[in-house]
Amino acid sequence: MGWIKSVNGVTVAEIILWVVFSFLCGSIPWSVWLGKIFLRKDVRQYGDGNPGTTNVFRAGSKWLGVLTLMLDISKAAAPVGFAYHNLGIHGFSMVLIALMPVLGHAFSPFLAFKGGKAVASAFGVWIGLTIWKASLPAVIFALIGLGVFEIAGWAVMLALASILITLLVWLPEPLFLSVLLGEIIILAWTHRADLCQPLRFRSSVRKFFQRSGR
């Protein structure tokens, strides 16, 4: 099993521990726990019914929504960043560790394996791996997508496409590309209901193009 060791000689047992730890970090349902503690509400009763930051906002608390967003990002960025930058783990081992927070959020054992859409955790992974190099384009294009498309799932796919372009042009490392492929598969699954719907532009965008075409 030497193929699973990093260049710094991290043992198989340590890799397994980091994989499990990364998964458990990602599986922490901050939105549900904080919603029950501070709002006395189950955020899953709002919006799309998922445990996530958006439904914390919908439950009526902006500051708690921001806190939840930061925690959901950090629960992925922290273990991934430490394993990659501090322990020097690379290769297939790092791919596993990087994808675990996303899987943990999407299939949280604390919620009977019924988690959220894992967007914030997926974003946190790129902060952990590249700090701002891949995460900044993702934020920019996610915001553009939310402003242009009616369906949020397509905005997420646009953000992932921006990461792909960034990696191909700037950071064409097999590790990063493998992590991105895994995220695309996971997020396509968590957003499958959105992606089954046709791509639709917001009415303001349609009106803009209609006026421009006259």
pLDDT at 25: 98
DSSP secondary structure string for all residues of 130-182:
HTTTTHHHHHHHHHHHHHHBSSHHHHHHHHHHHHHHHHHHT---HHHHHHHHH
| Amino acid residing at 83 | A
If you count them, how many residues does the chain have? 214
Low-confidence stretches of the chain (pLDDT beneath 70) = 1-8, 213-214
At 25-53, the pLDDT tens digits run 999 999 999 999 999 999 999 988 899 89
pTM, 2 dp: 0.93
C-alpha span between 200 and 37 (Å, rounded): 38
- Please, what's the b/e burial string for 73-94 (b: 16 or more CB within 10 A of its CB; e: otherwise)? bbbbbbbbbbbbeebebbeebb
pLDDT at 77: 98
Return the percent helix, strand and coil in the chain, to nearest 5: 75, 0, 25
pLDDT at 1: 41
N-terminal to C-terminal alpha carbon distance within the chain: 65
pLDDT at 213: 63
Q: What is the number of structural domains in the chain? A: 1
pLDDT at 55: 94
Question: In a 10 Å sphere around its CB, with 0-12 CB exposed, 13-18 middle and 19+ buried, how is residue 2 labelled?
Answer: exposed
Structural domain that includes position 136: 2-212
pLDDT at 3: 44
- Read off the DSSP letter of residue 199: P
pLDDT at 211: 79
